Amino acid sequence: MSKSIFILGANGFIGNALTKRLNEEKKFKIYGIDINNNNLINLIGKKNFIFKKGDINKNISWIKNTIKKCDIIIPLVAIATPNIYVKNPTKIFELDFESNLKIIKLIVKYKKRIIFPSTSEVYGMNTDKKFNEYKSSLVVGPVHKSRWIYSISKQLLDRIIIAYAEKKKIKYNIFRPFNWIGPKLDSLKLAQLGNGRVLTIFINSLLKNKNLVIVGNGSQARSFTYLDDGINALVKIIKSDKINGKIFNIGSPKNNIKIKSFAKLVIKEFNKISNKKYKGKIIKKTELEFYGKGYQDIPTRVPDISEAKKYLKWKPMFNLQKSVNKTIKSFIESQ
């Protein structure tokens, strides 16, 4: 039996890629909403894709009716860029928490299944070598460091979903992406303003021959995951009816790298692809200079993916070099 799926934030980085993949499988009825549709142009009008260009805070009637008719709801609407955590924390709270809480309550009301995007940031400054979904403590910094509002907003929604599930009011899965990268990661226009994620900010600097800025001494490490690997995991979650209540880290532990080394790798891969060789250099700025006083960095972020391996029969296939290369190539080709 085919499933009907409602993706809120269908035009976003994860949303457009997931919509495309589900459409290719031709056995899902897909509903989507987003304030933009530029990443979905080739899908608009497809028989099994119904799209509403709208705002989740203004088109609540349409959203309510769509939740009623769908089997699975995937609310991907969120701001996930550190610069905005620091500069506009109330915006993070209002969209990432309050708006999504309204959606969760509707899913509870109509007894639907939710696949919820948490974040690797919920683990905060935990010092575990690998973060486990059920064992690792969630450790964040002091309240005057506003960068943690994103982590806390997501963590509280995770807990609310689980609380509803304990009362048998909702079926759920939670997935935690670990630094996914790939085509359409952020717009270069936003990256130019510092409102992107690290790779798009780097790519924007490379394209403009500007210096690459690393924050602090660059010793902080991340585990970068290629988008296709992440989407493969999501499709497995969608297709499985036997994993209710499971939480999954979706990341590539083998792709863990310090940012200072990552910057060098990005330059190397850019020079392989681009006709114009990069002539800038890597420079350092303090956290205060780059983000402001509300920022606090996370030293490491490595996923334990044993749950995904066991229950989804999933593991990442793209190594770091290929992940970076394919992402850079997609941005160059879109110029």
Residues 161-192: tens digit of each pLDDT: 999 999 999 999 999 999 999 999 987 776 65
Q: Is 60 helix (H, G, I), strand (E, B) or coil?
A: helix
Average pLDDT, the chain: 94
Per-residue pLDDT tens over the stretch 71-128: 999 999 999 888 899 999 999 999 999 999 999 999 999 999 999 999 999 999 999 9
Q: What is the DSSP letter of 223?
A: E
Averaged pLDDT, 13-39: 95
**Model's pTM, two decimal places?**
0.95
- The confidence score (pLDDT) of residue 191 equals 62
> Element (H or E) spanning 174, and its range?
strand 171-177
